[in-house]
Amino acid sequence: MIVSGTKDLIYNDDYAPLEGAIVSAEGTRNTAETNSSGRFVLTGIPVGRRTITINHPLYKPRSIEMDIIADTIRLIPRDRTTLAGKGYYLLIGVGNFDPQLDMRDYGINLPGFSPYPTPLLAPSEDVGIMERAILYDNQLKTGSVISLVDKWASKENVERKLRSLISQMTEDDYLVVYFSGHGIGGDNQMQYDAVVLYNDLLADYELKDMIEDALRTTGLWLEDITIIIDACHSGSFADGIPSAPIIRTKAFRKYPYTVITSSRPNEESWELQFPDGTWNSLFTHHVERALVRGNADYNRDGAITASELYRYVQPRVYSDAERLKGNRYGVPQNVYLWQGKGDPVLFRYYDI
């Protein structure tokens, strides 16, 4: 059986023929590479319904289901032959807070804890290493990266920058929101499952509403949105348990969201000073090594998916937290993954 792109070409996001894309098919090790005209011929595919996958270093893979028929040349449908999509990133880190921010104003008053958020040293560094990884170490095409740190990370600014990013996007693009800082939630005694911004709390449903309101305003539907949260209790953003008194399931436990968090709902997340003197959170420290160094690429295809990232980071975060912090109060730190979008590619590293 032959699958051909000799009439329906493989295009990039500028609708120019895409050279150097690798086409593979389920059931065979044969591959084909598109030429300067975006054309290819792939042979030796077993009869039956098969997945045809198109890979290129600059883009996320595109997979197509096709019925393969004996002694028949099949053309890939024209509307499925565009490899497109850029990444748009909002990176938020908050370690210093408005002196007027008082958790008691939100009904949060934990015995033995200050009502004012404790300053953190890691978030600004975390945002820095994530930004560098995206801009300099990621082969996937990038549309825009916006970083908000400390006083710039107000709720108003977060919403404004989300709207700005989404207004630039097309339906083939993907959105990534990253946060490093304090998180609250984890059980039904909390009024919020939220992260702590410079001067306010941002609840999970508020962030979801910001994203989806901006999408409605632009008339856009995205198939790929990833939320990465490095904060205590961050797994509460997608654990499926309603929060009180606002009885809703967790905002991001739905398609098309992929959620990766540094801890489960009832767990803390740690920041540490490393030998070079810098402070990073334990989770983001291992995420950077998983992505930039390709350590999480278990199948050695040059791309790192959400499940590969989780597989690499989870045991290392747990082990380091246990060794360095002794799992304070007997509660460990476990990375949490919700795959509402299947297993999207998050990163494509440079193989040096």
44 and 174 in a single domain? The answer is: no
279 CB-near residues (< 8 Å, 6+ apart): 121, 122, 125, 271, 272, 273
Rounded average pLDDT over 196-218? 94
Domain ends where: 38, 62, 80? 80
Of the candidates 80, 97, 123, which is a domain's last residue? Answer: 80
Q: Where are the alpha helices (DSSP H) in the chain?
A: 122-132, 155-167, 204-218, 282-292, 306-325
For residues 92 and 187, membership in a common domain is answered with yes
Domain boundary among 45, 80, 115: 80
| pLDDT score for 330 | 61
What is the SS3 string spanning 314-352? HHHHHHHHHHHHCCHHHCCCCCEEEECCCCCEEEEECCC
Phi (first) and psi of residue 73, to 5 degrees: -90, 125
Q: What is the mean pLDDT of residues 148-174?
A: 97
For residues 66 and 122, membership in a common domain is answered with no
Reported residue count of the chain is 352
Mean pLDDT lowest for which of 56-65, 215-224, 241-250? 241-250
* 117 shares a domain with 63: no
Do 129 and 187 share a domain, yes or no?
Answer: yes
* pLDDT(8) > 50: no
The CATH number of the domain holding residue 39 is 2.60.40.4130
Based on the fold, state whether residues 246 and 291 are members of the same structural domain. Answer: yes
Work out the number of other CB atoms within 10 angstroms of the CB of residue 58.
18
Rounded to an integer, what distance in angstroms lies between the CA atom of residue 247 and that of residue 172? 33
Task: Outline where 168-267 has alpha helix (H).
Answer: 204-218
Statement to judge: residues 49 and 100 lie in one domain: no
The band of 323, judged by pLDDT with boundaries at 50, 70 and 90, is confident
Is pLDDT above 60 for 196? yes
Q: How confident is the model at residue 5 (pLDDT cuts 50, 70, 90)?
A: very low
Q: 12 pLDDT exceeds 80? A: no
Residues 111 and 19 in one domain: no
pLDDT in tens, 63-115: 888 888 776 666 665 554 456 689 999 999 999 999 999 999 988 877 677 89
Residue 10 in this model has a pLDDT that exceeds 70: no
User: What is the average pLDDT value for the chain, to the nearest integer?
Assistant: 85
Q: In terms of domains, do 236 and 151 share one?
A: yes
Rounded mean pLDDT, 169-177: 95
Note down the domain range covering 32: 2-80
Helix residue ranges, H only, 219-305: 282-292
Supply the CATH number for residue 199's domain.
3.40.50.1460
- 223 and 250 part of one domain: yes
Instruction: Count how many domains the chain has.
Output: 2
pLDDT digits (tens, 9 = 90+) for 31-68: 888 888 778 888 888 888 888 888 888 888 888 888 88
91/68 same-domain check: no
Looking at the fold, whether 281 and 169 belong to one and the same domain comes out as: yes
Kindly indicate the confidence band of residue 1, based on its pLDDT and cuts at 50, 70 and 90: very low
